[in-house]
Structure 1
Amino acid sequence: MGRWVASFFIFVRGILMGIADSVPGVSGGTVAMIVGIYERLVNAISSFGMEFLSLLLKRKWKDAFQHADMGFLLTLLFGIAVGLGAFSIIMTDLLQNHIPVTFGAFMGMILASVVILFRQIRKKDFASGAAMVVGAIFAWWVTTMNPIAGQDDSLLYIFMCGAVAICAMILPGISGSYILLILGEYHHIIHRIKELAHFRTTFSDFLTLCVFGVGCVLGLLSFSRVLKYLLKNHHSITLSVLTGFMAGSLNCLWPFQQQVDGKFIRLGMNAFSGQTQICALCAFLAGLVGVLVLEQIASFLANPTDKARNSGK
C-alpha cells in the first residue's frame, strides 16, 4: 500500500475518533480499538520521553520523528481535529432533537465493539472474566454520576478537566465527553470549539481552549505510559478490563432519553412514538452492522507495519 494511501486511511480513522469524542458516552479509544490502531497509538504517545528529548537536543530530527511515529500521530491528530470540529457543529442539534436515533446508533456501535474486543483477548480464564466484570461495574457506576453543580470555571479547573477527560478518551468505553459532562464543562467546551470552527471566538474562549489542550497533552503523555506497561505485561487482563468498560458504558446510551438543562433523563420506550422507536431500532442495527463491517475493512487494510506495531513488536 502506498504511503499516501496509508496516510489517508489513518486520517479517516482520526476523523472517526474525533466524531466519537464529541459524543457523551462514546470514546475515541473505542474507535481506535475497532480500526486496529489502539496499541500503535498508545506506543506512539508513550514514546515522548527522555530518549525523544535526547534526539531533539542532538538535532537528530529525523530519528526523533521516527522514534515517536510522528507521521502517524500528526495525520491522526489532524483527522481527530477535523472530525471533532465538524461534528461539534451538528452535535447540539442531534442531542436536542434526535436523541433516540443518535444514541441508538452509538449503542449498536459500542455493543459490536464489545464483541470485537472480546475476541482479541488471548487468555480467557477466571481472572480475565473477573477483570471484565470489575471494568463493567466501574463504567456503569461512572455513567450514573450526576453532573457537578456550580463548578469552578478557573483556568486551573479547566486544565484539570482536560487532563482527566483525555485519560478517559484514550480508554475504550470510558467517554471523555461524558466525563466532561459530569464535570460540568462539556457544553462549555463544545460551544467554544464550535465558535472557533466558525472563526468567531473571543480571546478568553481561545485561552480557555489552549489551557484545556495543555491539560489534555500532559494527561495523555502521563497516562499512555501506564497503558503501554499494562498492555505489554498484562495484555489479556488489560483487554478484559477495557472490554468491561465498553460494556458498562452502554448504560448511558439508552436511546430513549431527553436532555433537560444539560442532563439526560431516562424515559421508557412508550414515551416516544412508534415511528421514533422503529427509527431508533434501525439506527441501533445500522450501528451494530456498520462497526462489524468497519472492523473487517480495517483488518483487510492493515499492512504488516501496522500489525507489527499494534502487537508491540
Structure 2
Amino acid sequence: MPDSQNKSPGGLRGGIFLRGVAMGAADIVPGVSGGTIAFITGIYDQLIDSLKACNLAALKLLFSNGPAAAWQYVNGGFLLSLLLGIGLSVLSLARGISWALHHHPLLMASFFFGLILASALLVYRQIPHARGAWLYLLAGVGFALLISVVRPGEMPVNALTVFGAGALAICAMILPGISGSFILLLLGMYEPVIQAIKSLDMGMIALFMLGCATGLMAFVRLLSYLMHQHRCPLLAVLTGVLLGSLSIIWPWKLTGSGQLLSDEHSLDWHNVLPGDYAVQADPQWLFCLGLMVVGFVLVLFIETVARRD
C-alpha cells in the first residue's frame, strides 16, 4: 500500500480541495503546471502514490473487502477532494483566465513568471546533494528551451485526437515545470479544448478526460518509480525544466515580423526586452516587475503555509 493511505484517507478535506482549485487554475494557463502547485504545496508525493494505488489490487480489494477498504487503499478522500477542486476551478475559471490572458497578457505573464521562478527555487532546495546534479539540471533547461521553439502542427479535431491530446497533456500537467496547456498548444488542441469547456460540450470533455485518465494511469507508475529510486536526477531535471520554461512565460513577446501578438495563444513569437517591446506598445514594466515579485512571494507564502498544514 502507498504511504499516502496513512494520511487520513476519509472524507473531503478543505485544504486539499483548495490545492486542487489552485492546480486547476494553473493548468489552464500555457506555461504553468498544476504539478508545480502540487509540489510547492507539499502534496506531490502523496498525489503520485495515491494515483499509483488505483490499480488491479484496489479493484480486487473492492470485491473482497468492500468499498470502504478500497477507498482507504487508494486514499479516496484525498483524491476526491483534489479532483473536485481541479474540476471546479477549470469549469469556473476557464472563461475568466482566458479573458485576463486576452486583455492583460503582460500582467498575467509577469505574475506567472514570478510563480515559476520561486517554484524552481523551492524544487532546487529539495535536491539531495549529489555529484552531477547540475548536469541533469542543464538537461532540463535544454529540454524546456527546445520545447519553447517547437511550433504546432495541424491536427484535425476528432475523437481520436481529443483522446490522444488528453493522454499527452496529463503527463505534462502532473510534472512540475511542464505545462499541459502548452503541450495542447503545440498539438493545436488548446483552443478546441478550452472552447469545449466554455460551452460545456460534455461529449468532447468526456473524451478528453478519458484520455487524461488513460495517460495518467500509464505514466504515474514510471513517475513514482523515478521519485522513489532516482529522486535527485528527477528533481534536478524538473528544476531545469522550470528555469527553462521561464522562456515560454516571459511577458514581452513580438511576432516573427516584429509586431504585437494578435492572438495570446499564438506560437509565432520571440522574446524581446521591455525596451524593444516599447517600440510597439507600453511594456508596463513597473507593473510587470511588481507582479513578478507578488508571484514570487506568493509561492514562498503558500509553501510556508503548506508546511504547517
**TM score, norm. by length of structure 2:** 0.89
Secondary structure at the aligned position of 2:199 is classed as helix
Moved over 2 A (4+): 1-6, 257-262, 264-268, 270-275
Q: Deviations over 1:10-56 (max 9, x none)?
A: 11100000010000000000000010000100000011112111112
For these two proteins, the number of residue pairs brought into alignment is: 291
1:251 maps to which of 218, 231, 247: 247
Indicate if the aligned counterparts of 1:155 and 1:211 stay in contact, CA closer than 8 A. yes
Q: Within 5 Å, give how 1:180-199 maps onto structure 2.
A: 180-196=184-200
Q: What is the Cα deviation at residue 268 of structure 1?
A: 3.8
The equivalent residue for 1:199 is none
Using the aligned pairs only, state the percent identity. 37
The answer to whether 1:137 aligns with 2:142 is yes
1:168 and 2:172 matched: yes
Q: CA deviation at 1:252?
A: 0.4
**Using the alignment, how far apart are the partners of 2:61 and 2:307 within structure 1?**
34
Structure 2 residue 235 is matched with structure 1 residue 239: yes
Q: 2:151 aligns with which of 146, 152, 158?
A: 146
Which residue does 1:294 correspond to in 2? 302
- Kindly report which structure 2 residues correspond to 1:25-104, keeping only aligned pairs within 5 A, or say none: 25-104=31-110
**Residue identity in the other structure for 1:124:** A
In structure 1, give the amino acid aligned to 2:150: M
Q: Check 1:7–1:259 CA distance in 2 against 1; reply closer, same or farther (3 A cut).
A: farther
What residue number does 1:11 align with? 17
User: Which letter does structure 2 place at the counterpart of 1:195?
Assistant: S
Distance in 2, Cα, partners of 1:67 & 1:288: 36
Q: Please report how far the alpha carbon of residue 223 of structure 1 lies from its aligned counterpart in structure 2 after TM superposition.
A: 0.5
Report the AA paired with residue 262 of structure 2. Answer: V
- The 2-side partners of 1:289 and 1:23 are apart by 19
Alpha-carbon displacement from aligned partner over 1:72-109 (angstroms, at most 9, x marks no partner): 00000000111112221112222212111101000100
Q: Distance in 2 between matches of 1:5 and 1:16?
A: 20
State the Cα RMSD in Å: 2.0
Which is further off, 93-102 or 208-217?
93-102
1:178-217 deviation line (CA, Å, top 9, x unaligned): 0001111111111111122xxxxxxxx3211111110000
CA distance in 2, matches of 1:2, 1:55: 19
Task: Give the drift of 1:4.
Answer: 9.8
**Distance in 2 of aligned mates of 1:253 and 1:295:** 22
* Structure 2 unaligned residues grouped into runs of 5+: 1-6, 254-259
Residues 4 and 296 (structure 1), Cα distance of their counterparts in 2 relative to 1, 3 Å cut: farther
Return the offset for 1:57.
2.4
Say if 1:147 and 1:263, in contact at 8 Å, map to a contact too. Answer: no
Letter in 2 for 1:123: H
Counterpart among 225, 228, 244 of residue 224 in structure 2: 228
AA partner of residue 159 (structure 2):
L
Which residue of 1 is the match for residue 163 of structure 2? 159
Per the normalisation by structure 1, the TM-score is 0.88
Residue 283 (structure 1) aligned to one of 277, 285, 291: 291
The answer to whether residue 124 in structure 2 is matched with residue 121 in structure 1 is: no
Task: Determine if contact 2:9/2:72 at 8 Å carries over to the other structure.
Answer: no
Measure the CA separation in 2 of the matches of 1:39 and 1:234. Answer: 13
Structure 1 residue identity aligned to 2:160 = L
Higher RCO (CA 8 Å, separation ≥ 6 residues): 1
Q: Distance in 1 between matches of 2:127 and 2:137?
A: 11
